[in-house]
Chain A
């Protein structure tokens, strides 16, 4: 399978403090699915990725295939591989359709 790469035209940033807050919330058993930890600036608009989306985004650095991204995420997220693989696939399909990620 091909390597995944971010669109180099997209300006983005990890939001460190927000990420720390999300991790704290998760540790306390809370839900942080709708809290952004990575921001993307595209055509004057800002979009945010939640913790999982942000992790996937960071891993799409032009060095990994999709399966390798799932492998890397399994080291951090305590979920079944199939479930995680489905979530990763949905996210990547969405962002490739938008042109924000591509296979190289």
Chain B
């Protein structure tokens, strides 16, 4: 057996799929709230699933927009799971009562993530611009657990929660969540507009990760995940990710509601369309994807001893702030 991952995969492992940009919330950090795209009808969505099944993409994660806005979500999920795909989604939880939770289970969802940004209900509601959203989100976690669907909790780290992230972990425990994603802040969409108010400074990011990694290493009853490649530049960081640097374009891709493919939801560069282009040609030959896979150190990354591990950090953030995929991640503290 060989465990070294050095070559390109034949397809992504995960498609993060925005079925719709429509949402019943207007969150302060949302990357997509101002995006508009035509949505595919159900029949064409099933054609997309066929392509993913043919390419042996094992995981689909529906995001958004709010996935439950789509009336055909259950039908599409059932269609995908029947073809052996593992389907999950991220939701704000507002539309997810006990009956819906049961329907999600019956449709075959492997897990459902609920976004919660603060353990303090008022703070969460304020951040999400929706009164009562905290109560609904936690109720959704309970409903999913009650029917036997694995739950995760997604929390975007920002000024409002980075100092008391432990309370988010306690909240997750209280609601029987199995995994907490402490997402890094992306400078896209409203996240870009509200960056000054919400994003941490590079030094704050470093201090947060040092502390959060220590908590993660000491925690046994809860999986804690980060998805930030800039962590790899921390001295002594010992985790072994499947790929170095951003996973976008290497392990995952993003689908827009109209079938356009982008490297991730935070990079607005369309590499092609899943229904009208040859997928394998896009996957292997897209200049954008190959640019992300073969970044060259620029700026302060040149000569940095950590570059081989972090590969410049988050490509989406670099692109959002400089327009160049290879520029250093603005969160980098080095």
Residues of A within 8 A of B (CB): 11, 13-18, 34-36, 39, 41, 46-50, 53, 94
Instruction: Give the contacting residue for B86; candidates A11, A35, A39; CB below 8 A.
Output: A11
Whether B7 contacts A18 by the Cβ 8 Å rule is yes
Which of A14, A36, A47, A53 has the most CB atoms of chain B within a 10 A radius of its CB?
A36
Least CB distance from A41 to B in Å reads 7
Which of A17, A18, A34, A41 has the most CB atoms of chain B within a 10 A radius of its CB?
A17
Residues of B within 8 A of A (CB): 1-5, 7-11, 13, 56, 58-59, 86, 242, 284
- A13-B56, A13-B58 given; A48·B2 CB < 8 A: yes
Instruction: Give the contacting residue for B13; candidates A35, A41, A53; CB below 8 A.
Output: A41
Instruction: Give the contacting residue for A35; candidates B2, B11, B58, B284; CB below 8 A.
Output: B2
Whether B3 contacts A47 by the Cβ 8 Å rule is yes
Least CB distance from A66 to B in Å reads 18
Whether A13 contacts B10 by the Cβ 8 Å rule is yes
What are 7 sample pairs from A and B whose C-beta atoms fall under 8 A apart?
A: A13-B10, A14-B10, A17-B284, A47-B3, A48-B5, A49-B1, A94-B1
Whether A50 contacts B2 by the Cβ 8 Å rule is yes
Contacts of B4 on A, CB cut-off 8 Å? Answer: 34, 48
Whether B9 contacts A39 by the Cβ 8 Å rule is yes
- A18-B7, A39-B9 given; A46·B1 CB < 8 A: no
Whether B2 contacts A15 by the Cβ 8 Å rule is no
Contacts of B11 on A, CB cut-off 8 Å? Answer: 13
**9 nearest A-B pairs in the assembled complex, by CB-CB distance:** A13-B56, A11-B58, A34-B2, A48-B2, A15-B10, A16-B10, A36-B2, A17-B10, A46-B242
- A13-B58, A14-B56, A16-B10 given; A50·B1 CB < 8 A: yes
Whether B86 contacts A48 by the Cβ 8 Å rule is no
**A-B CB pair tally, cutoff 8 Å:** 41
- A46-B242, A48-B1 given; A41·B58 CB < 8 A: yes
- A11-B86, A13-B58 given; A48·B3 CB < 8 A: yes
Least CB distance from A99 to B in Å reads 15
Contacts of A46 on B, CB cut-off 8 Å? Answer: 3, 5, 242
Least CB distance from B111 to A in Å reads 13
Which of B2, B8, B9, B284 has the most CB atoms of chain A within a 10 A radius of its CB?
B2
Given contacts A35-B7, A48-B4, A49-B1, 13 further A-B pairs with CB under 8 A are A11-B59, A14-B10, A15-B9, A17-B8, A34-B2, A35-B2, A36-B2, A46-B3, A46-B5, A46-B242, A47-B3, A50-B1, A94-B1
Inter-chain CA distance A80–B1, complex, in Å, is: 22
Inter-chain CA distance A52–B275, complex, in Å, is: 35
Least CB distance from B287 to A in Å reads 19
Inter-chain CA distance A11–B11, complex, in Å, is: 14
Least CB distance from A40 to B in Å reads 9
Inter-chain CA distance A49–B3, complex, in Å, is: 8
Contacts of A13 on B, CB cut-off 8 Å? Answer: 10-11, 56, 58
Least CB distance from A42 to B in Å reads 12
Contacts of A17 on B, CB cut-off 8 Å? Answer: 8, 10, 284
Whether B10 contacts A18 by the Cβ 8 Å rule is yes
Contacts of B56 on A, CB cut-off 8 Å? Answer: 13-14
Contacts of A41 on B, CB cut-off 8 Å? Answer: 13, 58
Least CB distance from A12 to B in Å reads 8
Inter-chain CA distance A36–B5, complex, in Å, is: 9
Contacts of B1 on A, CB cut-off 8 Å? Answer: 47-50, 53, 94
Inter-chain CA distance A103–B8, complex, in Å, is: 33
Inter-chain CA distance A16–B56, complex, in Å, is: 10
Beta-carbon nearest neighbor of B11 in chain A: A13
Contacts of A47 on B, CB cut-off 8 Å? Answer: 1, 3
Beta-carbon nearest neighbor of A98 in chain B: B1
Inter-chain CA distance A60–B5, complex, in Å, is: 24
